[in-house]
Structure 1
Amino acid sequence: MTQYSFPWNDVNGDRLYDADDFMRFFAAFLKTGVVMSYKGGLRVRSAQNGMNIQVGSGSAVIGGSSYLNDADIGIQVNVASSIQDRVDSVVLRMDKNARTTQLFYKPGDTTVARNDTTYELQLATISVKTNATQITDADITDMRSDTTVCGWSTPFDNISVDGIVDQYKIIFEQKDLEFQTWFQNLKNQLDDNQASNLQNQIDNLGSEKANDDEVVHNTGDEDIAGKKNFTDDMKTQNLEVTGKLELPSLKANVTTKEGLILNLYKKGELVICRFGGDIANATSGKVLTGPWVDIPFRPTETQQLMGHFAGRDTSFHIDLKPDGSMIWWGATIGTSPLTSRGNANYFLN
């Protein structure tokens, strides 16, 4: 029997470690296979370019030895036969003699080599049809999840749950036996009249309904009291309101860098805009610099909002876009500001 522990500080050369020690350490808790969560997972795909494929970036663990690839690697498939189909494969091969782990393309070979010095993980097989001139994704079979030739590297090994399954099976069988015993005892306690009465109650369950004056009917005039909340769309032919109609409201102020102020008041789908502010450095057709109008006040279609200048008989208008931007369509104003006034209304939809 051999007991082994790792690592320890070296004292006069009695603790010298090599790659086998580290591989033994990692193999104890990392299964051999492809690391699913790292980059592209070494997935093999068509390069969409003739007889070419590519292996995605990724990582793998073989017997505790780590392999990393941080970019796609292209592989050219051998020329197709003019006589018969063949099946090739792409493997990740660890060669202890060469002290390396690399991708290998195996034409006409789908076996995996596994011995004392060589260990292969088969990533995919490639069907090369007779006279083929291009490899597509449909020609590639992903073999990474097949544990007989590859598999996934995880910190967990396969755990046998046979004992747990047997234990729960016994519990379920015991509970089923207890239920059957209880049900049989219940049937024995019911005489013919009780059983008949119980059956009648069961039969009447589908026909029973609430009192007629406690439900809302599909047709007819009736009063419905109390507060009701409708959380979805409602469509009605005619609407008569005898009390107060309340609509949600919202306020906002927008001041552009040119000095134009928009005082916005939203009531339902209607927005009332009151202009103010002293405007300067505005030219016709210019998109006014931010901030723009917030989302709750943006129309679904461009709206033309009219205003005028205080103490003048000239007017202006702006185009309010669905994205909240505003285009100035008024007189060109230099550095001497003009005071804006006016009210404008628009619907959001």
Structure 2
Amino acid sequence: METSLFWDAQENSEGVLDRVYNSDDFAAMFAGFWGDGLIPNTSTALLVEPIENSFAVVVNPGDAFIKGRFYRNTEDRQFTLANGNANERIDYIALRFDSERRSVYLKYLEGAEGEGNPLYARSAALFDLLLAKITVPANAQYLTDEMVEDLRGTSECPWINLRFDLDAITSSFQVWYDNVRELLDEDAAVHLQGEIDELEAKHDSDVATLNSAIANLVVQNQGLQEQLDNERHYDAVIKDGNIYLNTRPYDASIDTDIP
């Protein structure tokens, strides 16, 4: 059967609304989104912890979805367990969906000593998410951290959305990312080596050009030096009371007043 939600209701000819919804319709929609599990909005969401030197535990605040029904606990909830007996006992702290009571609530499931794990509900009417497994040793005087096993994030009490295989999706993305990064690293290395080669070639060319320019300057300087050396033998020429600086080799044909 096909179903689509949600639509505005319209009155038929008899004045009756043709679209009527209830909480089950919303629950079915939310269950399709989230599945059953805790909402990991804090690291201690519905975490069960023992109270020091006692047989009591406390359940931290937290949120969850079970069968599409939203649950919220806004304060610490305390449960007092039965005392230790002659034999080991296993208890559960559970979050229960109860369709008959129309409620989701925390529940202490006490086991029988020496009988292993207690029974818990997994039916359409009753459904338990097991928050913690508490192993009470024989003749225990109080609870310790080692006796309380956190079941959050396991198959007994998953986080929401784990109906989608997030691990597989994450793994697939990581493989793709690693391949892309490897290609980028190789391309970047080749590109960088090419730039280095270009810089080295340009450096060699610039050095050769500079050496050539220096050699030309040396040659020009030597020519100027020789010219200056020659001109140092020239003297001033005085004629008609004027002094002339001779800038070419002395010409004896020039009539001067110098004897």
TM-score (norm. length: structure 2): 0.58
Structure 2 residue 107 is matched with structure 1 residue 104: yes
Q: Deviations over 1:295-349 (max 9, x none)?
A: xxxxxxxxxxxxxxxxxxxxxxxxxxxxxxxxxxxxxxxxxxxxxxxxxxxxxxx
User: Relative to total residues, which structure has the larger helix share, 1 or 2?
Assistant: 2
Mapped partners of 1:117, 1:36: distance in 2: 25
Give the drift of 1:9: 1.1
Shift of 1:131: 1.5
Give the drift of 1:13: 2.1
1 or 2 for the larger relative contact order (CA 8 Å, sep ≥6)? 2
Deviations 1:77-105 (A, max 9, x none): 112112x1111111100000111111111
Partner amino acid, structure 1, of 2:35: K
Q: 1:74 Cα shift? A: 0.5
Number of residue pairs matched?
A: 164
1:52 is the counterpart of 2:59: no
Greater CA radius of gyration, 1 or 2? 2
**Matching residue of 1:5:** 4
Question: Runs of 5+ in structure 2 lacking a partner?
Answer: 11-15, 112-116, 180-259
Letter in 2 for 1:151: P
Query: Residue 165 of structure 2 aligns to which amino acid in structure 1?
Result: N
Cα shift at 1:110: 3.9
- Correspondence for 2:160: 153
The answer to whether the 8 Å contact 1:42/1:58 transfers is yes
How far apart in 2 are the matches of 1:26 and 1:110?
A: 30
Q: Does 1:29 align with 2:33?
A: yes
Contact kept, 8 Å, 1:33 with 1:153, in 2: the verdict is yes
> How has the CA–CA distance of structure 1 residues 111 and 39 changed in structure 2, closer, same or farther, with 3 Å as cutoff?
same
Matched, 1:137 2:145: yes
Q: 1:29: Cα distance to partner?
A: 1.1
Percent identity between the two aligned chains: 29
Q: Which amino acid aligns with 2:91?
A: D
Name the residue aligned to 2:83.
79
Query: Which AA in structure 2 matches 1:105?
Result: Y
Q: Secondary structure at the match of 2:26?
A: helix
1:158 Cα deviation (Å)?
A: 1.8
Structure 1 111/146 Cα, relative in aligned 2: closer, same or farther at 3 Å?
Answer: farther
Q: Distance in 2 between matches of 1:120 and 1:33?
A: 10
Distance in 2 between the 1:118 and 1:67 partners? 15
Aligned partner letter, 2:57? I
TM-score, normalised by the number of residues in structure 1:
0.44
- Higher strand residue share: 1
Would you say the 8 A contact 1:89–1:110 is kept in 2?
yes
Question: 1:28 aligns to what SS in structure 2?
Answer: helix
CA contact (8 A) 1:87 1:107 kept: yes
Query: Which residue in the other structure is 1:114 paired with?
Result: 122
Q: Which among 74, 98, 117 is matched to residue 95 of structure 1? A: 98
Instruction: Give the AA of the match of 2:161.
Output: T
Distance 1:54 1:10, change over 3 A: same
8 Å CA contact 2:90, 2:133 repeated in 1: yes
* Structure 2: distance between partners of 1:45 and 1:35: 18
Quick one: which amino acid aligns to residue 55 of structure 2?
Answer: M
